[in-house]
Structure 1
Amino acid sequence: MKKCLILVGVALVTIASRAWAGEPMAVLLEKGIYAEETAGDFDEALRLYQQVTVEAASNQPYAAEAVFRTGMCQLRKGNKAEAVASFENVAANFSAQTGLIEKAKAQLAELNWAPLELAPAPWQDGEILHYNQLLHSGVLGGVEKWMIKADKLGDQDVWRIEELHHNFGPGYRQYVRVEADRDTMIPIESHYEQGVYGTFDVRYQRGKIQLKGEANNKTVSRDIAAGGVAYDLCQAQQLIRRLPLTNGCRQKFYTFYAQDDRCGQWSMEVKAREKVSVPAGDFDCYRVEYSTSGWGSYFTLWVSADEHRYIVKSSYFRSEDAMLELASITHEPQRQFFKNGKPDFDYVSSRQPMRSLEEIQPIVQQAVSTISTCAENDPRVAKALETLKGPDEENTLKALAPFLSSDQATIRRSAIFMVWQGGFSHIEPVLAKLQDLCGHSEDLTRGMAALALGAHQAGSSFDLLAAMATKDASGYARRCAAYALGALGMESARPVLEKASTDSDPLVAGNARTALKALSDSLANKNISEPR
């Protein structure tokens, strides 16, 4: 009998202790909820939830509630990654708590559709980054050009991200275009032309990705399920430029790659701060490593720590066997990577490496000096102009700019001639200087500057050229300006040229009539917009 009483006593103590053990958990949980929802003290709430999680490890209802509440609290603090980890913990480790699992999954679904938190775009509209592809031996293996332009897709403001690649070895060329929301960088559509690997069009929608194209002589058309935001793989590096990079910064995001027809999760981490020297200059950079287990891909990027966040250098697979180095930076809002229904591969086909400004300066100086001593038809002129050709137009024009200000007339005119006849695709680095020269005291300088502006269809120079064609005291300057107005290809030039065609100087009048005919022919053959 005594033994039975003892056993009963033990049982009662056990039951009481269990009841006592449950009570503090409920109290702690309620205190945490009060701190979170009423007092707004998230740090105190997290401390209490953590205590419940540890002390109620064997009590699933309390532990699951505490973990879920931790996720909600982190979400309110703006810590998305920590919130996701808590909700994933609930979904994976508390199978009996079906109600909380459903709530956690609902939160995860919403979070997966939330875009990354981005800094303002660090680039200028029309920025082009020019890269050299270097092989292990240091030999130039190819070139790449990346451009970002502000654009419209329907009524939506977008960034149009474009890339042109040319690998010299197999002659492989690639064009990629991604249009992404200007604020969130969430992709809307993309277009790939990858030679033998296929041509693809991708349309991004909530819940699915539509892929259409041709690969291996077969038509491809399918929908791929998307459980959250998936960025286009070919915008990933521009996306990284907008992340709030600091030492130790980590981020994860999903991307879709048309060629592989699937999504993969990328993990990114800022590993260090390093000094990097490339043809474009010396940069203080963040070393960023990002990889995906899905494709087994691994990249190291060196991103400039300044406000521009340039991708200065990139290596693939932890090695320098495939290295990309920034060669120069240009801003060409009028540049088109895709013209007449196809990629402009001619723009990226040069086998010459990008030259730094320091490398180009003596070449330009020699060319200016040579041309200043020659008549226009001297064969040395063509040879001198040939030395300027290459993929580094921006640096060449920057090197020419000081000579446009020379007090020595022959040097100044030679520099203008080189801009005019140098075959440049744009003249942005010297545009303002040429416009200033339209007011120079020497009429030969004014006239040649006008011809250079007209040849490059610098529509922003219209008012200067119109005034010169009708008001300049020099007949030479007036006839050069009239010719330049015809070359601009603008309808607004017609009344100015009609007036100039009655000029008392027969050479001016003749040039104006010739320019009028050229203008009419130009407008009849193609649509040319008003001033750039």
Structure 2
Amino acid sequence: MFCSQFNLSRMNRQIVFASLAIFVLASPAMAATASELLEKGIYTEETVGDLDQAIKVYKKVVVEGKAAQEVAAQAQFRIGLCYAKLGKANEAKAAFQAVIDNFPQAAGIVAEAQKRLPREPELLPVPWGDGDELLLEMQLPNGMGVGQQIYRVSAIEKEGHSHWECQTWQTVVLNGQLGKSRVLIDKETFAPLSSIWKHTMLGKATATYAKDQVVIQSSNQTEPTTLKFTGQVFDNEQAAEMFRRLPLEVGYKTTVQIVSTLGSILIPLELNVSKLETIEVSAGSFECFRLELSIGQTFWISTDEHRYIVQFRGGGVTAGLSEIRESPFDKSTEVEEPNFSVTLPPDWFAYTPSGKEDDPSPTTSIVDPESISNTRIEAGPLDGIQKDHASPEAWLEASIEEYRNRINEFKMQPPGIETTTVGGQPAAKATFEFEEGNRAMTAQRITIFGKTSAANVRFAVETDQLEQWMPEFEEILSTLKLK
């Protein structure tokens, strides 16, 4: 989710201080008052962090500092910065426009204000084909894989009109968090029409777009939020695809309006191509535009005709392109791991983190089309498990005891631990219920002994979605074979 933060450069601050000195000589009483108020506003904004109060102080500077035009322009500019930090994009836009309209002689500050005004970005022809997918692995600085991000763009027909549909899947294995988004986009204008974003930790939000507004219903709010806007906006979940269509070159700068549906705010997002870099990722070597965002994130977009998202960095995580493919909408996927194999239905994904080559029992996450279930297969050598557990039932009983001690409102479903088989191999399974936040969950654990390997299969899903999800899971389980 995008959030905004803007700061003046040291050079701009020096320009402001030099201008203050000039106006002190020209009009001592007026300039001193305006400059003192300006410093008070800066202190209130940057040190105290009270943006609303800072806006009030800056407005006084504008009124009282008309003679000291540079100071008044600086105050008007900072009003725009404060509104941008508050996520009030329309107010920020009006404040920056006021700098341009009312203080044309303050050339340096006018130039800064112009950079922050959203513009209608030129969009190049789409660089993708129908159903193209980009798979990126998220890694920590030490190289350990912690999750997967998948981008897919599809051409669809709806109500007699041609649209693009952007879908994103996100899996984070460190905390078991899942995300899924879907944005319907007008094929001609690339304007969003509707979107849905679900996240197991942040909740769910839906958005319906009109010409000059978007209505957002978030699971965290009882009433919908209506955001007004002028000009072109983009949904947060189509931003990556929008970046791929920009006329990127070194020195390219623009500001676009982004709707964050989970945050229910409109954000003016500044974009800047600082340089070209060659990036090495699992999918190969690519010359890339380094696209820097004003929210502290960076995208590397390939310079070739495909404009791939080669790398992304933000929040201490780097995601690198691991695979480029056409989506197998109607094809099953064969997953082959050192200790097991399994067949996934169309539109399901598997992810095993890199950087754990020494782990004898790596965990593979299984991602369903709507990311409604946290499903994992942990498989390793059988002899290591048998040292502590003589049978699948004994292994499962020990696992269940761990759950009893660390999850809320644990309740085993009858008949408790059952003896069964999976793929003709001895197994045990148990189903139980628990609470996660305000969600009622149902989970199942299945332990299996193969010839040389053992596996612990586990899933957790919201109880009201269990019936929808279970048939496909059972289909997948029937294809699981241990080595």
Structure-2-length-normalised TM-score: 0.46
Q: Which has the higher helix share?
A: 1
Q: Which has the higher strand share?
A: 2
Larger RCO (CA within 8 A; separation ≥ 6): 2
